[in-house]
Amino acid sequence: MKIIPHKLAAVVYLALLLSCNAGKNIRQDQAAVSDKALKDCFSIPIGVAVGPYNLKGDEAAFILKQFNSLTPENAMKMGPIHPRPDRYNWRDADSIVDFAQRNGLRIRGHNLCWHNQAPGWFFTDSSGKAVSKEVLLRRLREHIQAVVGRYKGKIYAWDVVNEAISDKPDEYLRNSRWLQICGEDYIAKAFEYAHEADPDALLFYNDYNEISPIKREKMYRLVKGLKDAGIPITGIGLQGHWAINEPSKAQLDSTIGRFAGLGLTIQITELDISVYPKEHDARPRRPEDADTAFTPAREAKQAEVYRNCFEVFKKYRKQISGITFWNVSDRSSWLDDFPVRNRKDHPLLFDSNLKPKKALPAIAQYSW
Ligand code: HAH
């Protein structure tokens, strides 16, 4: 067959045009996924942990675009908000609540009873001796009444008790001042006081390392015990402080699956994925800790862990009623100082310039 040059040119031109257009459509689809705000990818509240410093400048507008729920990272913890018996420090908490209210975001309160960041005065009398169970529970009730009462109707969910379970395999509850003085009653009491102060708020037990089968069973025992005893617990908070090497899909599936049948709602309350293999305790610096670059290999691995998590979250979408990220972007994260001080981490969906990382489209494909 004789090929006529200008006909060949036309065919080549047409083929090129078609393939370019096909490419353009794919690129447009990808852009559509990653341009879409995070909160608009999911039909449940998508939150972020903040301090007042996040609510100004470029981060304020960014938060409003990407998230529709706020958790005060520190401002409502016992120490910061109630530093002395006769003094509440409302300033930071109020500023976060005002920002959320002005802009129509929900608020998850964090937290009402914890062994950490709890001021020493709670547990001691004026001579420094440990107080009685009765005094400690009275102080807890007054504290919860004041904090929950102040934000009644504005905070839709509270982490009532945080991290009460021991990390030691053979120990059930953490050997905290709360446990030492009150026995395990303080946990149920905290829920009762919170319910009394705001009967409409959702009330959560919140903890970490939930993917460990041993800790998970202890959490199950605790929340099931509370529920069966008629204590007003409505949800379980899985913190979700994970890392480049965990969780596997199977680990996460069996974790969420374990809690799914309890008749409690589940929220992922503090999600981040460290680029360093998981370590649970603070430790001194080692030479390899100097290697903090966010390499393409780390980015790809992290995106895969995020992807796996959201694939499993989607499977349990009927049980999961909220997901909160623990900090706004890689500009600043609590993991920059934990478990190793001053080791830069990159655990979030957005980089230090607030630009989406590979993890964002990786999770957006599991929108619901
Ligand atoms: C969380 N603990 C706390 O709930 C939160 O209030 C704080 O701001 C940061 C993290 C997590 C945690 C852990 O994953 C391992 C050891 C201790 C604490």
- Residue pair 158/203 in contact (Cβ under 8 Å)? The answer is yes
Q: How many CA atoms lie less than 13 Å away from 102 in the CB half-sphere?
A: 9
Choice from 92, 116, 212 to test ligand 1 binding pocket (greatest atom count within 8 A of CB)? 116
- Three-state DSSP at 241 gives strand
pLDDT over 90, % of the chain: 90
Per residue in 129-165, pLDDT (tens digit) is: 999 999 999 999 999 999 999 999 999 999 999 999 9
Q: What is the pLDDT of residue 35?
A: 74
- Tokens linked to 362: 């990786």
Choice from 270, 278, 328 to test ligand 1 binding pocket (greatest atom count within 8 A of CB)? 270
Binned at pLDDT 50, 70 and 90, residue 128 comes out as very high
What is the amino acid identity at position 65? K
pLDDT, average across residues 328-332: 98
Distance CA 329, CA 310 (A): 18
Per residue in 1-30, pLDDT (tens digit) is: 444 555 555 554 444 444 444 444 444 444
Q: What is the pLDDT of residue 14?
A: 45
Calculate how far, in angstroms, residue 35's C-alpha sits from the geometric centre of ligand 1: 31
Q: What is the pLDDT of residue 5?
A: 52
pLDDT, average across residues 178-205: 98
- Tokens linked to 288: 């390899």
Calculate how far, in angstroms, residue 241's C-alpha sits from the geometric centre of ligand 1: 8
Q: What is the pLDDT of residue 80?
A: 98
pLDDT, average across residues 69-96: 98
Rounded to two decimals, the pTM is 0.91
Is 304 among the residues known to form the active site? no
Binned at pLDDT 50, 70 and 90, residue 34 comes out as low
From the number of C-beta atoms within 10 Å of its C-beta (0-12, 13-18, 19+), residue 313 rates as buried
Calculate how far, in angstroms, residue 273's C-alpha sits from the geometric centre of ligand 1: 13
Q: Considering only CA atoms, which residue is closest to atom 2 of ligand 1? A: 208
Q: Which of 254, 272, 259 is nearest to 323 (CA)?
A: 272
- Of 59, 73, 210, 270, which is the active-site residue? 270
- 7: Cβ–Cβ under 8 A, 6 or more apart, which residues? none
- Tokens linked to 168: 């030691």
Per residue in 243-260, pLDDT (tens digit) is: 999 999 999 999 999 999
Per residue in 264-319, pLDDT (tens digit) is: 999 999 999 999 999 999 999 999 999 999 999 999 999 999 999 999 999 999 99
62 ligand 1 Cβ < 6 A = no
- Residue pair 90/150 in contact (Cβ under 8 Å)? The answer is yes
Q: What is the pLDDT of residue 7?
A: 57
pLDDT over 70, % of the chain: 91
Is 246 among the residues known to form the active site? no
pLDDT, average across residues 323-338: 98
Per residue in 80-89, pLDDT (tens digit) is: 999 999 999 9
